[in-house]
Structure 1
Amino acid sequence: MTDHRPDFEDDFDGSRLDRTVWLPHYLPAWSSREESAATYDVAESCVHLTIPPGQRLWCPGDHPPMRVSALQSGNCSGPLGSTVGQQPYRAGLRVREEQEPFWGWTPHHGRIEVRARAVLTPLSMVACWLVGLEDRPERSAEICVAEIFGSTVQPGESAAVGMGLHPFRDPAVSEDFEAVRLPIDVAAFHTYAVDWRSGRADFLVDGTLVRSCLGPPDYPVQMMLAVFDFPGADPPNGVVPALVVDRVRARRS
């Protein structure tokens, strides 16, 4: 059942993840449920996505070395062996494990906010984005609410926060993405948001407008929340990369 609620809130106050909304896997069709499972905990009214040192690689041998813990609010892919799936990372990629369709929360317009903090190393990143479910190939564009690479962070002072649009296979959307350096400490909680309506998307951090894009996708999307690690060695000084999300909220624009 689809859920396009313009008004939505998850403050992670319980002791368990709401599995009617969130799937704790990252694009499992290209891998498997087991190999794409997130490391996470719900505690202190937050969901903690982490990448401990022993976490396995995602799609090892086919994708450049990467580990990821992610939540996604939808999932759509084709039968085993098909090329139908979300955000393929190369041409000709085929479904390795068939998945049940999942439409947890798939908004279409609204002011969507994520209040979160990050623990990063120079080899890690965090991101929250909205992307089409690709139930049709052209419904694939992305609205990136925030993307932060640890290599851009000046601890306690500033970070480059990426935001904007990626068209992928949607010919109606143009590439419009920029990483803007902001005077924020990403280790502290901040609210990253997009005010998305027909024809325009405004990107905000802590209520302040940072940039705007014209012509965003105009169909239901799923939310993605993730922390990534690109391993080259053990975590610096034992730091475990993390994305700690306090709240996801959507309201009518």
Structure 2
Amino acid sequence: MTRLVLDDRFDAPALDLDRWVPHYLPQWSTPELTAARYDLGPDGLRLRVDADQRAWHPDEPGVRVSSLQTATFSGPAGSERGSHRHRPGLRVVTPEPTRLLCTPTGGRAEATLRMRPDPTAMLAFWLAGTEVDDPTDAGVLCAVELFGHAIRPGESDVNVGVEAHHDPRLQDDMATLTLPLDATQWHTYGVEWSARAPGIRFTVDDRVVRVVDQQVAYPLLLFVDLFDLTDGGPLDPSLYPKTGDVRRVRVWSER
């Protein structure tokens, strides 16, 4: 049995900072580089990457991000402890307090999203292990990745699945599904899982599109991310801002 623990329609005058941290992995970089750019309006949350926005990390010059997340955690400056160590070599630059705003260990999470057909942009909804208690609690449930270049008339490619990262109990199991949907319109992408039994279900508009026979049994934080993925060279300002829309996020927890 689950209970609703988060339901945000992004219809308030300001972002609810008791629910969201408006930064992308702030422990691995500096606040001015990790801060999200966004607007709130009649359709909810619009994440933006602007032409003057710098890469989120000096070692990833082609990656600009505007992201919200529901927890932070890190060790001291210079350490390797922190949530979502997605690549080797990351060390804490800005120590973060442990803030666990919404970190379910099982249940269901869903986001209603809309994406533009932009060749360098990607909108994602992920859940990742907080790693607070154990650095191997690091798996990722990818509820959806929407790449702008993979949106076509009458169909869109969506990436869903599991990434193990530093969790030896998991195996990478990602898939690209071609679905008969227009990702430039609103659709709800979800993931259901349990800490008590294997079986991770990925859904689109309440329809199961994939099942992965693995199990995650530790707290996960949510990410809603807009990425601009380039070669790191000069940008054409006329192609900005990049945008991705979020109308609603809901989470039900087993606990």
Match of 1:247 in 2: 248
Question: Equivalent residue of 1:130, what SS?
Answer: strand
For the 8 Å contact 1:5–1:105, the answer to whether it is kept is: no
Deviation at 1:252?
Answer: 5.5
User: Is this contact kept in 2: 1:51–1:68, CA < 8 A?
Assistant: yes
TM-score in terms of structure 1 length = 0.91
3-state SS of the aligned residue for 1:35?
A: helix
Match of 1:138 among 136, 144, 151: 136
18-27 vs 5-14, which deviates more?
Answer: 5-14
Give the 3-state SS of the residue equivalent to 2:33 in structure 1: coil
Aligned position for 2:151: 153
Question: Matches of residues 31-42 of structure 1 in structure 2 within 5 Å?
Answer: 31-42=29-40
Q: Which amino acid counterpart does residue 45 of structure 2 have in structure 1? A: V
Match of 2:183 among 178, 183, 186: 186
Task: Answer yes or no: is the 8 Å Cα contact 1:14–1:45 preserved in 2.
Answer: no
| TM-aligned CA deviation for residue 10 of structure 1 | 1.1
Q: How does 1:1-253 map to 2 (within 5 A)?
A: 6-60=4-58, 62-135=59-132, 136-154=134-152, 156-197=153-194, 198-232=197-231, 234=235, 238-251=239-252
- Checking the alignment, whether the CA contact within 8 Å between 2:55 and 2:61 is kept in structure 1 is no
Q: Distance in 1 between matches of 2:90 and 2:237?
A: 33
SS of residue in 1 equivalent to 2:14: coil
Distance, in Å, in 2 between the alignment partners of 1:53 and 1:238 is 8
CA spacing shift, 1:76–1:242, aligned 2, 3 Å: same
Distance apart, 1:89 and its partner CA: 4.1
User: Using the alignment, how far apart are the partners of 1:40 and 1:127 within structure 2?
Assistant: 15
User: Which residues of structure 1 form unaligned runs of 5+?
Assistant: none
Flag the 1:113–1:79 CA change in 2: closer, same or farther, 3 A.
Answer: same
Equivalents in 1 of 2:20, 2:77: separation in Å?
Answer: 23
Where do 4+ consecutive residues of structure 1 move more than 6 Å? Answer: none
TM-score for the superposition, normalised by structure 2: 0.91
Please state how far the C-alpha of 1:19 moved relative to its aligned partner: 0.4
Q: Quick one: percent identity of the two aligned structures?
A: 35
- Could you tell me whether the CA contact under 8 Å between 2:3 and 2:253 is conserved in 1? no
Q: Where do 5+ consecutive residues of structure 2 fail to align?
A: none
Q: Secondary structure at the match of 1:7?
A: strand
User: Residue 150 of structure 1: CA displacement?
Assistant: 1.8
Deviations 1:188-247 (A, max 9, x none): 110001121231111111111110011231111000000100235545963532221111
> Using a 3 Å threshold, how does the CA distance of structure 1 residues 231 and 175 change in structure 2: closer, same or farther?
closer
Q: Is the 8 A contact 2:114 2:183 kept in 1?
A: yes
Q: Give the Cα–Cα distance (whole angstroms) in 1 for the partners of residues 215 and 158 of structure 2.
A: 19
Distance in structure 2 (CA, Å) of the matches to 1:123 and 1:95:
28
3-state DSSP of counterpart to 1:126: strand
Partner-residue secondary structure (3-state), 2:226: strand
Contact 1:165 1:216 in 2 (8 A): no
- 1:80, 1:239 → 2: CA distance? 34
Query: What is the distance in 2 between the residues matched to 1:120 and 1:68?
Result: 17
1:178 is paired with a residue of what secondary structure? strand
Q: Which moved more, 1:42-51 or 1:11-20?
A: 42-51
Q: Distance in 2 between matches of 1:195 and 1:81?
A: 36
> Does the C-alpha gap of structure 1 residues 45 and 173 become closer, same or farther in structure 2, counting only changes over 3 Å?
same
